[in-house]
Amino acid sequence: MQEKKKIVVLDGFTVNSDDLSWDELGALGDLTVYDRTSQTDEQEVIARIGDAELVYTKKVPITKNIIDACPSVKFINMLATGYNIIDVAYAKEKGIPVANIPTYGSAAVSQYAIALMLEACLHIGHHSETVHAGKWENNIDWCYWDYPLIELDGKTLGILGLGKIGTRTAATAGALGMKVLAYDPYPTNAGRAVADYVDFETLLASSDVIAVHMPLNPFSKGLINKNNIEKMKDGVIIVNNSRGQIVVEQDLADALNSGKVSVAAVDVVSSEPITKDNPLLNAKNCIITPHISWASKECRQRIIDCAVANAKAYIAGECINIVNK
């Protein structure tokens, strides 16, 4: 009888906060799930991996030191799409396949981008809070609004990055009556069906709303900066639920405080959890949510389902979703 493979999940809480199940993964071996593991204490990570063969991580880095200290590890799986926290090159050198969870959240992240845009235009949350606080019942008029309410029909949305998420965002914006422009170095027919591809400078100058859907790479890092904000329309709205490091946060805060940017709505920041000195916390008209675009129950179930499929494929000797081939 084949010995059960040892499997460890280092930080499973955000994926499954007791509303889902690890049972299918547990059926494949001897499973240990930790809610949280230190992202900085390598000795704790090493101790928790122990002699496990399959290791799952969401935010806990898997470094060269950890790989060397845990020779039993034969398979590493990110519980996400991005895998920059894993030394994938060294894992490849050691013959360890690294898998990820691709395209689990395109619908939800796109939906959230639209929600951020709508909130930036309508401030629904704010007005609900004021009603609960008694402002409406004590108002001399039958209605009131504390911010300008913006109609999106006829406005131009510029999307930076027209991949799967950006394409879905473009389609929804089109249904709202918006003209959609996109900048992406790799145009697709699916993209052409929902947006007009333009160069970067044209998008900045023409858009009433700019939505960021780019991956973090050398081009996109710091792309929303003082110089590029100056090229945007006065009163532009900026939406970012992609990667926080794409925005130079002090530059965006300055633009919000000056009115150059009318509203920013972000679900990501450069350092997470957010730190109290983040300039966006004290900027005018800045909506910030805690990196939850991906966190619908449906998305998290797809993560677990793919994690199980990846493990089954590894055990069968036919690895899938490998990022370090």
Which residues are catalytic, by number?
243, 272, 291
Write the CB contacts of 199 (distance below 8 Å, at least 6 apart in sequence): 183
The rounded Cα 299 to chain-centroid distance in angstroms is 12
Helix then strand then coil, % of the chain, to nearest 5 = 35, 15, 50
- d(CA 118, CA 131) in angstroms, rounded, equals 19
Contacting residues for 115 by C-beta, under 8 A, at least 6 apart: none
Asked if omega into 273 is within 30° of 0 (cis), the reply is yes
Residue 208 backbone class (left: φ over 0; alpha: ψ -120 to 50; beta: rest): alpha
Query: 246: closest CA among 258, 229, 261?
Result: 229
Q: How many CB atoms lie within 10 A of CB 244?
A: 21
Q: φ, ψ for residue 57 (rounded to 5)?
A: -140, 145
Q: Which two tokens stand for residue 126?
A: 């704010």
